[in-house]
Structure 1
Amino acid sequence: MIDWYFSHIVLIQSTFTTLLLALSVQVPLRAGVFSFAGVGCYGIGGYLAAIGMVHYGLSTATAILLAAVAGGAVAYALGLLIQRLTGLYLAMATVAFTLIISVLVVNGGDLTGGASGLFGALGMLDTGHLLAVVVVVVAALTFTELGPLGRRIEAVREDPELASAMGIDVARYRRATFAVSGMLGGLSGSMTVLLRSTVTPDDINFHLVVLALTIIIVGGSRSWIGALIGTVIFVWMPEVLAFVGEWEDVVYGVLVAAAAVYLPGGVTGAAVDGYRKYRRKRREAAASPPDAPPPQQAAAAVGGDS
């Protein structure tokens, strides 16, 4: 077991950081906000952590905290700026924000390292630290999925007009999702960079948007569990599919397409729907009299008598 852990430690750590990135997209989607601002904040957090350590000698904890706070603040400001946009227009605006961040760091001179990036930002992080951060984040998100708060968020997503009529401040909830998304993106970016000790503009690009979105499509967008399932699939898939060689991209595409067509709610959505159908059948079976014939036989008997 120890040998397996050390031989896969990079994948294990990548699972935790990628989960935070996926959650930065999943949280807004739960409130009906199609936003990729968290991906842009991933770049902000990564570069701020690297700049803080390389140029100013910040500690690991301080650099990560700075990245998370800055990511949340920038995303909240972005949410105020584009709050009138919805749907695909909102998604396009947040993708543009991510691309703007990549352009800014390329032209950041000595501060960001330009096109070459920054090197030597090695933080004092291990798997235990990553696990602790993920557990705290998941616990907080679980609280938002349960009870009255979870129902209010569902109302904001499913019917904003009705939610507003019930006294729910829809705009405030949506702005809050931007802030949380930015904080999660900043956390993911800073910890990823401090584990790798380097960051370049190529690390912040459209491929992160595609990765986060496919994780949510396959895993599901209604719960952090869906983000976790999708993350495990796509982080570990190259390891599992190593034997197919050059066909790996084909398998990847087929998996995403099949999930989009046959699992519109993702793996978690299919599991929840299956559980609800099972519970409904159990209730119907318990409510029917013990000696009553099945519904099909009863219908046939009625037809024969007529």
Structure 2
Amino acid sequence: MSDFLQSYGFLIVTLIQAGLLGLSLYFPLMAGQLSLASPGFYALGGYVAAIMLTNPAFAGLRDALGNGIFPLTWLAAGLLCALAGVIVGVPALRLRGIYLALATIAFVEILRVVSLNLAITGGAIGIFGIPQAFGFQDRWQYILIFGPLLALVLAFTYMLQKSRVGRAFRAIREDELAADAMGVPPTQYKVLAFVIGAVIAGIVGSMSAPFLNTWNAKQGTFDASIAILAFVLIGGSRSMWGPVVGGALLTAVPELLRFLQDWRLVINGLVLVIASLYLPQGIVGALGKLRKSPPPARPPVAPAPDAKGGTL
């Protein structure tokens, strides 16, 4: 078991990380919003953790709290991303469809350019030498914090879907005008879904900074936005398991096929194309259809008798 974790621990943590980032995008989609802002909040959360763990201004706080500084970075990243989510979400969520996607991509790019030009973020070089969380010696030990976070987010998602808020999200996704007519305020719920996704992405970023030991502007890019969107679409955007399955698949395939060198990227592209063409509801959606039993056959209807006692 120890050898397995030493060999594949980094990959396992990366799979969990991909699933969490997919879930951060799942919440806006649950409310019918095509947001691509998750990499921006992920990068922002990572910078919060990297600065708090390396900047001399926080040296006294680090000495006083010891390992307690790590949960504090998660909390700080979540709160800052929630605030940023409200600031960005209130004006941006007035847009719909591709226009909202473009607005959130612009947010990601603005954060990237700003981080490239600030001294506190290390500029283009970034921040190096981020201490390992809780003194972990091996990367596989991050399963101990990423794993519980994934379980917590899945449990939260399940309960949310069963709640009044989850029903409001689905109503807005299906027909926003009808939901508004029934007393469901679309803007309020869309901003709430956007903020939930932002908080999850920010906390994942704050955990990932020590895991990667370095943080720079490459963590939040347009390419990352498309990759996270692919996690959700390939896995299935109508089930909370879709982002987890899609993230695990699209992250694992290139790594498991690394021995094929450049051909592994071709195979990864084929997986995307085939899934898009033949699995429009995603992998989880297709599996759900297979599990459903066909409807019972209706009994044949006997012909009605005519006036002479025969049949029509």
Q: TM-score, normalised to structure 1's length? A: 0.88
Does residue 172 (structure 1) correspond to residue 188 (structure 2)? The answer is: yes
Q: CA deviation at 1:159?
A: 0.6
- Runs of 4+ in structure 1 displaced over 6 angstroms? none
Instruction: State the secondary structure of the residue aligned to 2:129.
Output: strand
Tell me which residue corresponds to 1:217.
233
Q: CA deviation at 1:123?
A: 3.6
Tell me which residue corresponds to 2:199.
183
- Picking from 58, 73, 76, the partner of 2:86 is 76
Tell me which residue corresponds to 2:53.
53
Instruction: State the secondary structure of the residue aligned to 2:112.
Output: helix
Tell me which residue corresponds to 1:202.
218
Gaps spanning 5+ residues in structure 2: where? Answer: 63-68, 135-141, 303-310
Tell me which residue corresponds to 1:89.
99
Q: CA deviation at 1:243?
A: 3.5
Gaps spanning 5+ residues in structure 1: where? Answer: 299-304
- Picking from 175, 198, 202, the partner of 1:159 is 175
Q: CA deviation at 1:244?
A: 2.5
Alpha-carbon separation, structure 1, partners of 2:38 and 2:158: 19
- CA deviations on 1:163-201 (whole Å, 9 max, x unpaired) are 111111111110001111110110121111121121011
Alpha-carbon separation, structure 2, partners of 1:256 and 1:203: 22
- Picking from 116, 128, 145, the partner of 1:129 is 145
Q: How does 1:283-298 map to 2 (within 5 A)?
A: 284-285=296-297, 288=299
Alpha-carbon separation, structure 1, partners of 2:94 and 2:153: 29
Q: CA deviation at 1:147?
A: 5.1
- Picking from 250, 262, 268, the partner of 2:278 is 262
Alpha-carbon separation, structure 2, partners of 1:147 and 1:51: 37
Alpha-carbon separation, structure 1, partners of 2:82 and 2:286: 32
RMSD: 2.0
Count of residue pairs brought into register by the alignment: 288
CA contact (8 A) 2:27 2:197 kept: yes
- CA deviations on 1:90-136 (whole Å, 9 max, x unpaired) are 00010110011110111001x11111100122242532121111111
CA contact (8 A) 2:127 2:215 kept: yes
Alpha-carbon separation, structure 2, partners of 1:198 and 1:8: 21
Does residue 8 (structure 1) correspond to residue 32 (structure 2)? The answer is: no
- CA deviations on 1:259-303 (whole Å, 9 max, x unpaired) are 111111101111223333x2x43xx15x64xxx7xx9xx9xxxxx
Q: CA deviation at 1:162?
A: 1.1
Instruction: State the secondary structure of the residue aligned to 2:93.
Output: coil
Instruction: State the secondary structure of the residue aligned to 1:115.
Output: coil
Tell me which residue corresponds to 1:40.
40
Q: TM-score, normalised to structure 2's length? A: 0.87
Instruction: State the secondary structure of the residue aligned to 2:262.
Output: helix
Tell me which residue corresponds to 1:301.
none
Instruction: State the secondary structure of the residue aligned to 1:223.
Output: coil
Alpha-carbon separation, structure 2, partners of 1:148 and 1:47: 35
Does residue 117 (structure 1) correspond to residue 92 (structure 2)? The answer is: no
Does residue 62 (structure 1) correspond to residue 62 (structure 2)? The answer is: no
Alpha-carbon separation, structure 2, partners of 1:148 and 1:73: 24
Aligned amino acid, residue 178 of structure 1: F
Aligned amino acid, residue 7 of structure 1: S
Alpha-carbon separation, structure 1, partners of 2:260 and 2:145: 34
